[in-house]
Structures are given as structure tokens and as C-alpha cells.
Amino acid sequence: MFENLTSRLTRVLDSIRGQGRLTEEQISAAARELRMALLEADVALPVIKDFIDKVKARALGVEITQSLTPGQAFLRIVQQELTTTLGGTAEPINLRAQPPAVILMAGLQGSGKTTTTGKLARKLKTEDKKNVIVVSADVYRPAAIEQLRIVAGQVGVEWFPSAVGESPVAIATAALAHARKQYADVLIVDTAGRTTVDQEMMAEIAQLHAAVNPVETLFVVDSMTGQDAAKTARAFADAVPLTGVVLTKIDGDSRGGAALSVRHVTGKPIKFLGVGEKSDKLEVFHPDRIANRIIGQGDMLSLIEETAKKVDAEKAAKLAQKLKSKKGFDLEDFREQMLQVQNMGSIESLIEKLPGGAQIQAQMKNVNAGKEMGKVVAIINSMTPQERKFPDLIKASRKRRIAAGSGVEVQEVNKLLRQFDTTRDMMKKVANGGMAKLMRGLAGRLPPGMMPRR
């Protein structure tokens, strides 16, 4: 996400970060580069003009001229203006209504409405402990109704049946009556989409809105459409009172222009980001965190939250206890750590949240980290329980057998054993002297700039 914009902005900001003082010419040159970076990211022109004007006004004012570190002051201004452009603060979904709270999903065909409906239902059920019902009012595509039924089953929420030929308004009102009888907390209505914005579509969504009086009307938009996303959002905002936006397919968009454009054009907050195909890949949109990510500062808060949610705390505690008891770190533990990381999602998405993530990704350009991790797990799975417990037993003949069993070359087995030895040494340092020794052990293995300065 934002890969191209981040790399371009990082180059611009790096060129002035260390300056003792900034001249008007330097600020103007940096502003021109910022404008080019935003144009390449397919940000809408009015958004670019407004953003650049605000950055220049602040940079040429008192803030920079009286600053002891002008380069850092300029970086802070860009970060603050990006945060403002993206909405300022995160706005949670509004469920403050007499149950069932109705959420209306709107958007073009192919934007990811049905998938997002399932993701949102799962999020409300698992994180907010809500009783959720979903219904499809898309009576033009039988596949859409069936897709929602399947998605609802996958995320474990109730699906209210509907059929082609029924009135969308009748479907929605019947689903609302059913939700009241079932004492549901939330009803999510997935509406029909079209390939383009048309009057018939807008009239239908307006009728649905009037019939169910939703507390949230979320516009679902494909982030890869760039400036077109903002135009479509404006058309929907003119037809129905939108309360928020969901940007989908963020993981496939390296430009990031839609995120910067939609908020400015509609005046409505971006509430969620669809960051992958799986049902748990829906993130709350935090403007300040995204701004940090765009300028290459990472998003450690989101990474910590994601880790807390997906890492098995019980298994982590058992490993910590094992290390304290001096029982040692074996290949079984190594495999478990790999599986825990895989459970958190793609390695690329995790690296992106680290400070300097764009540079690390550039260095790993030809490395498929997820595939490499899967290979490691396959190799360990080909070992006997005794070999996993006592890796020193693995000599030439055993290596050949393990390589054949996992479909790799013997060199790959050797590579894994070297990686394991390095990791085991680090674990010993943690057990013997805590994090200080671990950080010293890591210092020579991480890319430049990744270790904190003392």
C-alpha cells in the first residue's frame, strides 16, 4: 500500500531532513517534488493544490524560520497536513441506535461490497460481540445473493434469504422485521451495484435508505480506481447521505491516491481499509498512522495491535518458560514461531508497518518471504520428532532424506539449519541476559537504519 508514493516522498524528505536551514528556494523545490509524487499517485488535482498550498504556507512561515531543526520541522508539517487531508482522527462505526442498527453498503459492481459486508460482520461479531444478520438486496445477480450466503456461513453470522425478482425495499424491510424479532444488534444490507453510476441505481439506493433509515451508509470503493474513486464517491454522496467510506483492495494499490482524494472530495471519513482477501483483513482507518506510513515512518501501533490479536499468548508464554528453564530452543519451537508469523498475514504487510519499511521491501524485492517461510515449515515437517528435538543428529544421509521428503535441495536444508543456529544463539542471549543482548545480536543482521541510535 502507498509503495510508490512512500518511496517518492521519502526521497524528497531525505534531501532536506538534515539541512541546518531551509531557504525559500529549497522549500519551493521540495513542494514541486511533493506535487509530482502526488500526481504519480493519481491524487485528484484539487486535493494536490490544497495540500501543497498549506504545506508551503506553513513551511515559509514562522514554524520553519524559528526552528532549530528545519528539516525535521518540514517533515512534521508534511505529516500533519497528510493527517488532516486523510481526516484527522479515526472515526469508529456508529452503533448508537435502538437495535437493530442498520448498516447500508453502497458502491459500484466489483468494488468488493459483498466481501466487505462479510468482513464487517465478522469484525462486529468477534471484536464487538454483536449479534449480526446480513441480507442481500442485489436482485439482479443471483450469484451475489449466493456469495453473501457463503460468506455469512464462513464468518458465522446469520444470512436472511432473498431471491431474484423480489423488490429490494421489500427484502430490506422484511430483513429488518426479522432482525427485530431475533433481537439482533446489527443488520447489514448489501445493495446492488452497477458497472457505472446511473439514475436508476441512485433512485433505488435512495429508496432503500428511506425504508430502513440506516445509522451508517458506507460507500465501498476500489482503491485501485484512483481519481475515479473520488468522482464515484461524489455521485453517491449526492444521492444518499453517506456516513463513511471503505477502501478495498488496498493491498493491490501501490499508489494510494484514492485514500487522499476520497476524504477531501466527499467530506466523509474513511472508516475501514480492506487489506486482503481473507475475512479478517479489514483494518480501522487511522489517518495519523497512515500518514506516518506514507512518509516512511512506519505504523508500530497497528503492528502491535495486530500481533496482540493474532499471536497465541499461551504458546508464547510456554516458550518463554522453556527458555527460562534452560531446556533450550529446538526445531519444533522454530517451526511454531514460523507458523505464528504466517498467521499474522503476509510478511510484506508486516514489514510495511516498520519504520523504513519501504527500503526493507526494496532490498527484498526478489524474495518471496511467505514462500520461503512455507519452505522452512515443509522441511521441518519432513524431520522425525527426534531430529527436531536434537538438530545435531542431522548429518549427510538424514539431510538427503529430509530434502527428498520436502521437495527441496540439500542446500536448502543446510540453509535452514544455519538460520536455526543463529536464532538459537539469539534465544540463548534472551534467556541469559534479556533484550539488551538480543538487540546487540540483531545489530549486525538488520538493514542500515533499522537499529535505534543510542
Q: Would you list which residues are annotated within the binding site for GTP?
A: 107-114, 190-194, 248-251
Residues 88/65, Cβ–Cβ less than 8 Å:
no
Helix (H, G, I), strand (E, B) or coil at 334: helix
- For residue 265, what are the CA distances in angstroms to 80, 84, 236, 260? 19, 13, 11, 9
Residues 6 or more apart whose CB falls under 8 angstroms from that of 198 comprise none
Burial pattern 153-188, b for ≥16 Cβ within 10 A else e, equals eebebbbbebeeeeebeebbebbbebbeeeebbbbb
CA–CA gap between residue 297 and residue 237 (Å, rounded): 33
Q: Please, how many CA atoms are within 13 Å of residue 411, restricted to the half-sphere of its CB?
A: 0
Per the CB < 8 A criterion, the answer to whether 290 and 86 are in contact is yes
Burial class (CB in 10 A: 0-12, 13-18, 19+), 308: exposed
Return the SS3 of 222. Answer: strand
Amino acid in the structure at residue 137: A
Give the Cα separation of 87 and 272 in Å (integer): 12
Measured CA to CA, the distance from residue 324 to residue 431 in angstroms comes to 6
Q: What is the widest separation between alpha-carbon atoms in the chain?
A: 73
For residue 100, whether the previous peptide bond is cis, meaning omega lies within 30 degrees of 0, is yes
Residue 373, CA distances (Å) to 102, 329, 342, 369, 400 in order: 42, 18, 8, 6, 20
How far is 10 from 18, CA to CA, in rounded Å?
Answer: 13
Angle at 91 between CA 102 and CA 356, to 5 degrees: 130
- Does residue 35 contact residue 9 with C-beta atoms inside 8 Å? no
Please count the other Cβ atoms lying within 10 Å of the Cβ belonging to residue 348. 17
Whether the Cβ atoms of residue 270 and residue 263 lie closer than 8 Å to each other: yes
- 72: Cα within 13 Å, side-chain hemisphere: 5
CB of 101 closer than 8 Å to CB of 215: yes
Annotated binding site: 107-114, 190-194, 248-251
